[in-house]
Structure 1
Amino acid sequence: MKKRALLPLGGAVAAAGLAAAAVTIPAQAAPSTSAARLSSAAAAADILDFWTENDGANLKSAEPYGMEHKSAPKLVSKGGPAADGKPGVVPAIGQGGKAAGVTKNVNLPKTAGRVFFTIGDGLYSCSGSSIQSRYRNLVATAAHCVYDIAGDASTMKRWIFIPGYYDGKAPWGIYVGKTAHTHHDFEVYEDADHDYAFVTVYNGIVRDHAKKTWSDAGRLGDKVGGQGLAYNQKVGAPVFVFGYPAAPQADGQYAWSGEKLKWCYGKPFFPVQESSVKAEEQIGLKCAMTGGSSGGPWILKYQSSRRIGYINGVTSLGGDTDGDNRSDLITSAYFDGETYAVYKSAYSLWSGSIVRRDGSLGITETQAR
């Protein structure tokens, strides 16, 4: 099986300062969305055993994953995208409590986490974030972290999300993916202009190693909150980008570990293009993150004290644009009304618990509902 090249890189929030409209799907845009099963409730036990056995050895062995592209994306011209409808936002759901960590006066979001999955015998990782939904069970990430387009568009196997991941630890539980929702044009045409996905997850799981049982950690959004969503916004407002870069820089001078959450900050620009993956209208940001940061959230109006804002992109591509063998650019699909429609296709879907009363797993889908 072909191994995809790594990315060479790699409460509600008030809508003040953001162009906002009512949360409705734009009337002129009802794009085809693709939905696929990632895991049944019955398969969850094997998936969790796979990632947690031997003190999480497989988690620590996972390699960074990225969408193969032939060259670094390039800024074609300065300007703005043609939005397909009115700008809009979906408010976030917050999580109170004391700050879990401070990096250069930026409180890291509890919502951000690391995605793990397998392709054949390979172990891989991306990044992602909890995002607001009706049942507080939704993760935003890159579509190429869900669909193995090199493997004829099959979904990744053993897909899990670990919010707040650090040094092999899962402080708020492990969340097994249930269904993945992407844009039809990505699944069929591998169009990076639609490189985003929204994944429903079952309730989180925490393992009691002493008793050899599992306990239900509850819904993802109840544990860590969920970022809002912004779409059809003007490009140029500053964003924070979070992710877990794990691939080394090409010059070997700095090697990311993938074991801790990192961030970049700046003003995105448009359009960035890379023809080998049909990227014609992506947005770019100067950032040194490498492979493994794919799927990490681009957050507008991030409130460090509350750790929430609006997801307005997810990391897609990246590379070295000045030839110094160090990544200096990451990109994201532009979030428009079609992005919002894909998000809404997953917004109201239920997942539920996958833990029996005796602490075992593997219950039926009917019981999970």
Structure 2
Amino acid sequence: MKRILLPAGGAILATGLLAAGLAGTAQAQSDVASDPLAKTEAQAAETLDFWSKSNYAALKKAVAFNPDALEVKKIKSGGGYSSDTKPGSSAPIGEEKKAAVKTQNVNLPKTIGKVFFEWKDGNLYWCSGTSIQSQYRNLVATAGHCVYDIAGNDEVVSKWVFVPGYYQGKAPWGLYIGKQAFTHYDLDVYEDFDRDYAFVTVYNGIGGTLNKPKQVTKAEFDAYKGEKFAKDVEVSRDEFRKGRLDPKTAEYYWRQPGVPSEVVGPDYPGAEVSKKEVTKEVYDAAKVGKGTGFKFGEPVTEQVTKTEYDAYKGLGTKSEDKRGNYFITSYYVQEWFKPGTDKKFFRTDFFIVVHEVKDVGRLGDNVGGQGVAWNQPGGKYVRTFGYPAGPHPDGNKPYTGVTPKWCYGKTNKNVLQVPSRKVEEHQSFRCAVTAGYDGGPWLYKYSNAKRLGYVTGVTSLIVDTDGNSRYDTITSPHFDGETAAIYKAAAASWSGKLIP
């Protein structure tokens, strides 16, 4: 991990007066910790390939992040929150030009989505997150534990991506790969959950068709160095013959020999019976019952013409009555056999896997960005969003994580203290959600018409405060002046694009 001291900007005069004026700023900047996620294009391409394979199969495989370390047993209330600096804010971007209306329905913000990553145990998880205001419109806010290892290994998680508007494996506004993570030094080094937040810069979104099979010739297939596969297709006998006669395609056509049937006993598993014509003498000598060589029903007599009668040379017997009618009688015995298989004809087709992807632009240009506010007092109405999916402590699982949910109400004026997580002044809020909601934004002054507000926190802990084995409260770090310094450092960081 690397602790970054950000420059104050501009020339610094060596005067005691200026040094005194910058002292507070330098202290805040020293709290900024920053770590790379996918700092090179090669690492970003590897992350994209991982999540996009097989039609985003990895995204569908991920589950809500619910580490045991977030279970909270002892909680107590503290006094009121004391701000470290004056209140401040950064306005939202992407406001929709709509008139304010009064409605009971909640318009979900376009900015929210799921954060996906691979944790140290090798499993795939997701949290919630949101796009926020930044200079390059490339910033995501989420919980710190959804970016940083909370088990003391001083590492960030792997393969971090943000998918706004995620729904059942779909990325409607593209997939955004994390480039650089920013958080407070105390979370990075000391796992202090009073600073359980992170701001992540992301590359331009990537969309289009990923991992698309393209049929090619055998020569193109052999020369291709990327992902490829061959597929055998059953064809008709006529196509097989034509393909084998063409020197350009002859080697791609092949046949599977048939297997002849085999005479077996009637008790052989899967054995079938057919009738076999024999002479009258053989039929008369055959037994009655079930078995190869046993009689197959009664003899069959068929009336025929004089011409057919004279021409018949088969195993049956011929007869003629007094009226000049002619008959042929046929005799059959049973023949039990194991069925064989017919010949099959195949053609081998060759495919390479290509990526027809495109740059879909900056995150903030596509979905907008929530504002950010710090040093806001407690007891204010907020609206929170996220994707809950995990179970309650009693095993009940009311949410699927497929669609986002929301809660609305006042934050508690008194801070919440959680000694096991080094929490001394979390803000808290009554909201009966479960794992997966963590990382989602707490939006102050949320406009239902504009779908925008100000992020004053992100869900950190999801706790049961009354001991009934049902979660009832969510908590968040207070966004204070130190948070503002970290946010501003992240908001001024450029990320760029992966596809020219």
TM-score range, shorter chain: 0.7 to 0.9
Q: What is the TM-score when the length of structure 1 is the normalising length?
A: 0.84
Mapped partners of 1:268, 1:73: distance in 2: 20
After superposition, the CA RMSD in angstroms is: 2.1
Of residues 349, 366, 374, the one that matches 1:223 is 366
Q: What code does the residue aligned with 1:144 have?
A: H
Matches within 5 A, 1:292-331: 292-331=436-475
Q: Structure 1 residues 164 and 95, CA, compared in 2 at 3 Å: closer, same or farther?
A: farther
Partner residue of 2:271? none
- TM-aligned CA deviation for residue 46 of structure 1: 1.9
Aligned-residue offset at 1:278: 0.2
Tell me how far 1:191 sits from its aligned partner.
0.4
Q: Distance in 2 between matches of 1:225 and 1:145?
A: 22
Contact 1:238 1:265 in 2 (8 A): yes
What is the CA–CA distance in structure 1 between the aligned matches of 2:174 and 2:36, rounded to whole Å? 21
Q: How far is the alpha carbon of 1:257 from its aligned partner? A: 1.6
Q: Which has the larger radius of gyration?
A: 2
Query: What secondary structure, in the 3-state scheme, does the structure 2 residue paired with 1:150 have?
Result: coil
Tell me if structure 2 keeps the 8 A contact 1:63–1:124.
Answer: yes
Spell out the pairing of 1:118-267 with structure 2 (5 A cutoff): 118-120=118-120, 121-150=122-151, 152-209=153-210, 210=212, 212-267=355-410
CA contact (8 A) 1:192 1:278 kept: yes
Partners of 1:307 and 1:279 in 2: how far apart? 31
Stretch moving more, 174-183 or 24-33: 24-33
Shift of 1:96: 3.1
Q: C-alpha displacement at 1:25, in angstroms? A: 11
What is the 5 A alignment of 1:68-87?
A: 68-72=69-73, 74-77=75-78, 79-87=79-87
Distance 1:25 1:201, change over 3 A: farther
Q: Distance in 1 between matches of 2:154 and 2:110?
A: 31
Aligned: 1:280 with 2:424: yes
The aligned counterpart of 2:226 is none
Identify the range of structure 1 (61-70 vs 329-338) with the bigger mean alpha-carbon deviation: 61-70
Residue matched to 1:49? 49
Q: Tell me if 1:333 matches 2:333.
A: no
Cα 1:128–1:80, aligned 2, differ >3 Å: closer, same or farther? same
Partner Cα separation in structure 1 for residue 431 and residue 472 of structure 2 = 5
Aligned to 1:21: none
Task: Please list every run of at least 4 consecutive aligned residues from structure 1 whose deviation after the TM superposition is greater than 4 angstroms.
Answer: 24-28
Q: Separation in 2 of the partners of 1:73 and 1:59?
A: 35
Q: Alignment length, in residue pairs?
A: 328
Aligned-partner residue type, residue 47 of structure 1: T
Q: 1:175 corresponds to which letter in structure 2? A: Y
Structure 1: distance between partners of 2:383 and 2:73: 21
Letter of the structure 2 residue corresponding to residue 74 of structure 1 = I
Higher relative contact order (CA 8 A, sep 6+): 1
Alpha-carbon shift at residue 55 of structure 1 (Å): 2.3
**Aligned equivalents of 2:23, 2:202: Cα separation in 1:** 23
1:344 aligns with 2:345: no
On the 8 A contact 2:390/2:397 being kept in 1, the answer is no
Kept in 1, the 8 Å contact 2:152–2:191? The answer is: no
For residues 62 and 70 of structure 2, what CA distance do their matches in structure 1 show?
Answer: 21
Q: Return 5+ residue gaps in structure 2 as ranges.
A: 1-21, 213-353
- The percentage of counterpart residues that share the same residue type is 52
Retained in 2: the 8 A contact 1:26–1:86?
Answer: no
Q: Supply the distance in 2 between the matched residues of 1:216 and 1:151 (Cα, whole angstroms).
A: 36
Q: Return the TM-score normalized by structure 2.
A: 0.63
